[in-house]
Amino acid sequence: MSLLVVGLSHRSAPVSVLERASLAVETQAKLLQDTLAAEPATEAAVLATCNRIELYADVDKFHAGVAELSTLLAQHSGVGLEELTPYLYVHYEDRAVHHLFSVACGLDSMVVGEGQILGQIKDALARGQELHTAGRLLNDLFQQALRVGKRAHSETGIDRAGQSLVTFGLQQLAAGADPERWADGKRALVIGAGSMSSLAAATLARTGVADIVVANRTRSRADRLVEILQQGDDTSVRARAVEMSAVGDELTRADIVVSCTGSTGLVLTADALADALGVTLDAAPERPAVTVTPAPADVDQHAAWVENGSAASTQAGRATALRRVTVPAQSTGPVRLALLDLAMPRDIDGAAHRIDGVRLVDIESLAEASADAPMAADVDRVRTIVSDEVAAFGAAQRAAHVAPTVVALRTMAAGVVAGEIARLDGRLPDLDEKQRAEITQTVRRVVDKLLHAPTVRVKQLASEPGGAGYADALRELFDLDPQTVAAVSRADLNDPNRGRS
């Protein structure tokens, strides 16, 4: 196993860089194909969310792999390599496994414990399978990450350590008030109908808003989301769908706006928001910015915040200095319009903070607020689960490495038995079928017993750290044809049922 991950996230890069580096779905597909075409990589998968972009690959050379994956990320993100490099982190082999498992459990999320990342990991795996860039290693890795994440949520109280970005965002909009009382009776506009927007709409409905309007570029998806909302037994929310062209009119009636689209440009400009509120943006006073120093949510996991918003490349996950963030001051007057921007790149103009009566919460402000969020004791239990699962995954991968050699050895032994039985038939042609069957079974039992102990033991030894060499020793001792072993491996990789759940 030579697993390598190169990426950047909200822990290593400022939102401005993450916005520019975000990858559209079609760009992700091209990145995967180009990674597989690169010499060091034999498998590839990309995990791209609103706050992280990570490229996973099975490589045969570490340094060449890091250089190639970094270059590919820069090329496809549109951010120059020289500018992107300070924000990249690198994990290799067991540390790469540990990183993904931590991500799957929500330990590396803006809001610790949020579960949305599991769906995003599942999507990343499905994309790799669809494009045939995820082979045995990445199929096993991502499938196991999903199981580890589900285990963490079912066996611990990690869900209590944090909420989804939607829930946390609504708490920030409520500014200390009870979210349900704050949202009761309000009118909400949800822009977008993807997974995050759907979650936002469902959360708003449960929180107690009276009306939800869904706007989406594809009207049928907005209609479907409205249908789902109205079928819910636990809410009495009124919901309807509109075209994107109606957003301007709906803004004049909304109390809450949640936006999460795949747009590469702004969906709501400051001018549009000012028009909806009947104010002039130019007359809005420029409020002084506030400088804060957020504490890292988990400084153990990997290097995160560093001075002046840049992050050093890291393999060891060492702690580094904190970065200082300049945050626009929010309006202190009554809130007429509460905005929650969950998109990356952002959907809502950051200049909206200049409009009196507007409160804006976006990905960057969520990161700053969640940095000081309390960590539940269950987080330690999840870390233990991750460590145990990393060890188990490594052992399983090392054992799997020797399996084709064991299969090739048994295939060779079966061939020897078949050859000897054929030779016996020539020397003793008068044997009846019963005698021949008994002799054949006896020879097979002898061979199986002779091979049982060494094959079982080599699997045990191979599962231990440094045990990969036992497969080579077995091939050398029994003079196994490397092509036969490779053929077994290829047959395993081409199994259509492998890596599917």
Whole-number Å distance between alpha carbons of 388 and 382 = 10
Whole-number Å distance between alpha carbons of 267 and 372 = 30
Q: What SS3 string covers 130-184?
A: HCCCCCHHHHHHHHHHHHHHHHHHHHCCHHHHCCCHHHHHHHHHHCCCCHHHHHC
Per the CB < 8 A criterion, the answer to whether 456 and 399 are in contact is no
Whole-number Å distance between alpha carbons of 176 and 127 = 40
Give SS3 for 246. helix
Whole-number Å distance between alpha carbons of 298 and 107 = 8
Enumerate the β-bridge partners of residue 358: 337
CB burial of residue 286 (10 Å; 0-12, 13-18, 19+): exposed
Instruction: Collect all residues with Cβ–Cβ distance below 8 Å to 128 and sequence separation of at least 6.
Output: 32, 43, 44, 45, 46, 134, 138, 139, 142
Active site (catalytic) residues: 50
Enumerate the β-bridge partners of residue 422: none
Whole-number Å distance between alpha carbons of 353 and 330 = 6
Measured CA to CA in angstroms, residue 203 lies from 166, 235, 342 at distances of 7, 10, 14
Helices 195-207 and 219-231 meet at what angle, rounded to 10?
30
Residue with tokens 């995050």: 196
* CB-CB neighbours of 358 under 10 Å: 25
Whole-number Å distance between alpha carbons of 143 and 98 = 14
Residue with tokens 């549009």: 272
Measured CA to CA in angstroms, residue 374 lies from 109, 113, 162, 243, 298 at distances of 14, 11, 8, 41, 11
From 381, 350, 450, select the one nearest 409 (Cα to Cα). Answer: 450
Residue with tokens 């982190």: 89
Whole-number Å distance between alpha carbons of 376 and 306 = 25
